[in-house]
Amino acid sequence: MVPIKELFDIEYGNQFDFSKMEIDDSSTAINFISRSSTNNGFVGKVKPYKSAMPYDAGLITVTMGGSYLLASFVQPAPFYTAQNIKVLSPKVNMTLEQKLFYCAAIQHNRFRYHSHSREANSTFDDLIVPSLDEIPQFINSRDFMRIEEESIIDLHLDIDTSGWKLFRFDEIFTICKGFYNKKPDNDPNGTIPFIGATASNNGITAYTTLEIIEAASKTGDNNNAPLSEKIFDGNCITVSNNGSVGYAFYQCKPFTCSHDVNPLYLKKYTLNKYIALFLCAVIEIERYRWAYGRKWRPARMPSSKIKLPVTASGTPDWSFMENYIKSRPYSKMI
């Protein structure tokens, strides 16, 4: 075991403010990495800032403050960083697999720190991690899937919301209530996702089986509901209405969920994963309207508004939404 500073050159990142950067969507745009624990820390693409050179792809970013300390990611493209983020550059050549191992090792030390009380800034460089020789052999022998930046279609589409139209949620979606039920026991061999009110992992907090779901009840007595009320069809969007309110995820397969989740099924059009990802992004933009004290229960959601691109006739432009996602870098990986 060695201090992490023996393996990496460590420095603070740019400490830029994303709100003061100029958003850009061109081929020369630079990834901006925040203190977020999701989406690799990525929050958007920006124009080059004055003479500041971006950090190289392949380096590791680690959050030193914020709500999720030590969120660690290997950055796949050149980037700038927000405040309170350290950038780790390997002192010797490392494979992607080895870098990802160190990201996991760093994050397993989160319990040592607390936001706004004992942050990681002053002691992080001395954090003890396995040496290169101590990395498990299965890591060194594994070839993780490489990320392809290529898009599905070669088309440049701009986002201009000035012509978009507001719709009620119940005009666009059939809104279902999750099932008010005890969370089923996790089964390592289960194939049915349990969707909870979380902000990560596509909303999945466990995997379970039909047998476990059928037996589960809120009170633990025999007054149980039929299985048909606990299982929801896939090809829909789930939105958390409590806890991490307003996070939206596409579910491609049948699932079960808690009553803290609203399953949404598209009306008048067949949903696919590309349209769903577009809608999820739009839904999450409105997250600021909701909180633990103002839950987004199914009683409130029907009259809520969602702003969407429209055709000349004023109906949602599903083709644009699908093609926009397909035109984005990395869309072949979806």
Give tens-digit pLDDT for 112-128: 776 656 667 778 998 89
Q: What is the mean pLDDT of residues 167-174?
A: 96
- Tokens at 170, concatenated: 């119940």
Instruction: List, for residues 37-62, the tens digit of each pLDDT value.
Output: 888 899 889 999 888 999 999 999 99
Instruction: Say if CB 309 and CB 163 are below 8 A apart.
Output: yes
- pLDDT over 90 for what percent of the chain? 51
CA atoms within 13 A on the CB side of 237: 30
Helices 318-326 and 273-285: crossing angle, nearest 10°?
A: 100
Per-residue pLDDT at 140 = 72
Burial class (CB in 10 A: 0-12, 13-18, 19+), 87: buried
Q: What is the pTM of this model?
A: 0.65
Instruction: Say if CB 282 and CB 137 are below 8 A apart.
Output: no
